[in-house]
């Protein structure tokens, strides 16, 4: 975000959610606590609420998505909002309409919240600068830069599994250089005071040294996950790497794939995370993905709760309720 732009309102509440950068740890904790209240046991009917009654949420996703888009839609519906999924790949944008014209068009249909995923850095802020005063913009993933609700759901999953952050060693493994998930996890976990963060990647997938300050950098997964409490695996972001079709996936699996034998190096009660979509047999083996230490499906459940918490927060902060 540029310096003269703030995603917070005058009261320090979120008007938009574009990044976790600079967010107050107290606000992050508040969102995690709020999300906790939206969780339910498997088989129970999911909690609902009327916080967004009368609101209209539009999902504008210009990159593929399964979990993020579905969970934003369910979150909006469960809070009583109208929810609209616009397939941006099939919208007028491909006919040359600018994103702002699309936004103004939907604003004229009384859309109150735009959830946007885009491959172009800066689009979220651009939209946020141009929407009407009462309208909120929430990131569903911005290029390689930021995926704030994913960072929050990852933090919530770690809090549930480990009871807190203070003494934890968290290892993030894979294509960190091109990963918005890793960047937002880093922001959330640093704010929440995690004891040690390790980033593990081959040279070409390691971020520049100006980023992830304070994290321990490691080339070897075997050394990097030693004694870790949390192991977060990432997909190779092939769509963001020029010439990546040539990555030798078998070799990558041998060098960086998480197998049960490797996982034995982590702490005995370590949990394994993955934001999805998984490439089984590449960055993670099926025995680990489906094994007893995996919290991957819990991350998905937490994703709905976090998105409900964020939507309820911005609605409350705007103070616009149905009469
Ligand atoms: C991630 C994304 O889109 O950044 N997926 C997600 O939102 N759960 C991770 C990925 O695509 O690898």
- Gap from CA of 54 to ligand 1 centroid (Å): 30
- In DSSP terms, 57 is beta-bridged to 83, 113
**pLDDT for 323:** 64
Strand order in the sheet with 196-200: 216-218, 196-200, 169-173, 230-233, 271-273
Output the CATH code of domain 148-295: 3.40.50.1370
Give me ligand 1 centre to Cα 31, in Å: 21
CA-proximal residue: ligand 1, atom 11 (nearest): 277
Which atom number of ligand 1 is nearest to the Cα of residue 276? 8
Q: Whose CA is nearest to atom 7 of ligand 1?
A: 68
Is there an atom of ligand 1 within 6 Å of 139 CB? no
Question: Fold identical between 25-146+301-318 and 148-295?
Answer: yes
Q: Residue 235: CB within 6 Å of ligand 1?
A: yes
181 in ligand 1 pocket by Cβ < 6 Å? Answer: yes
34 lines ligand 1 (CB under 6 A): no
Render each residue's pLDDT in the chain as its tens digit; 323 residues.
888 999 999 999 999 999 999 999 999 999 999 999 999 988 999 999 999 999 999 999 999 999 999 999 999 999 999 999 997 776 667 677 789 999 999 999 999 999 999 999 999 999 999 999 999 999 999 999 999 999 999 999 999 999 999 999 999 999 999 999 999 999 999 999 999 999 999 999 999 999 999 999 999 999 999 999 999 999 999 888 876 556 799 999 999 999 999 999 999 999 999 999 999 999 999 999 999 999 999 999 999 999 999 999 999 999 877 76
> Of 68, 186, 284, 304, which is best to mutate to test ligand 1, by the most ligand atoms within 8 angstroms of its C-beta?
68
CA distance 181 to 187: 10
Q: Is the dihedral of CA 97, 99, 103, 106 positive or negative?
A: positive
pTM more than 0.85: yes
Query: What topology is assigned to 25-146+301-318 in CATH?
Result: Rossmann fold (3.40.50)
- Confidence (pLDDT) at 90: 64
- Measured from the Cα of 68, ligand 1's closest atom is 7
Alpha carbons 241 and 258: distance in angstroms, whole number: 22
Q: What is the DSSP letter of 83?
A: E
Ligand 1 pocket residue status of 240, Cβ below 6 Å: no
C-alpha of residue 290 to centroid of ligand 1, in Å: 19
- Based on the number of CB atoms within 10 Å of its own CB, is 232 exposed (0-12), middle (13-18) or buried (19 or more)? buried
Residue ranges of domains in the chain:
25-146+301-318, 148-295
């Amino acid at each position: 975000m540029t310096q003269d732009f703030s995603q917070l309102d005058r009261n320090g509440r979120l008007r938009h959610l574009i990044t976790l950068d600079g967010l107050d740890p107290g606000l992050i904790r508040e969102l995690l606590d709020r999300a906790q209240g939206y969780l339910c046991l498997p088989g129970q009917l999911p909690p609902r609420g009327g916080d967004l009654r009368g609101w209209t949420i539009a999902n504008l996703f210009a990159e593929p998505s399964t979990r993020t888009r579905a969970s934003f839609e369910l979150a909006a519906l469960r809070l009583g909002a109208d929810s609209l999924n616009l397939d941006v790949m099939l919208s007028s944008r491909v006919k040359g309409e600018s994103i702002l014209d699309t936004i103004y068009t939907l604003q004229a249909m009384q859309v109150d919240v735009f959830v946007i995923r885009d491959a172009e850095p800066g689009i979220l802020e651009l939209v946020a600068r141009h929407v009407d005063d009462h309208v909120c913009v929430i990131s569903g993933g911005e290029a390689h830069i930021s995926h704030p609700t994913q960072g929050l759901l990852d933090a919530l999953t770690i809090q549930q599994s480990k009871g807190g952050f203070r003494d934890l060693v968290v290892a993030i493994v894979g294509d960190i250089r091109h990963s918005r998930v890793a960047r937002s996890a880093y922001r959330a976990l640093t704010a929440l005071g995690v004891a040690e963060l390790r980033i593990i990647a081959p040279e070409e997938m390691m971020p520049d040294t100006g980023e992830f300050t304070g994290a321990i950098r490691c080339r070897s997964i075997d050394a990097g996950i030693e004694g870790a409490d949390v192991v977060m695996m990432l997909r190779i972001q092939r769509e963001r790497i020029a010439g990546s079709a040539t990555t030798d996936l078998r070799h990558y699996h041998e060098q960086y794939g998480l197998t049960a034998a490797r996982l034995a190096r982590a702490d005995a009660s370590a949990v394994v995370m993955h934001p999805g979509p998984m490439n089984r047999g590449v960055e993670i083996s099926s025995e680990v993905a489906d094994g007893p230490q995996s919290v991957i499906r819990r991350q998905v459940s937490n994703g709905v709760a976090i998105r409900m918490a964020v939507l309820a927060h911005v609605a409350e902060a705007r103070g616009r309720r149905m009469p």
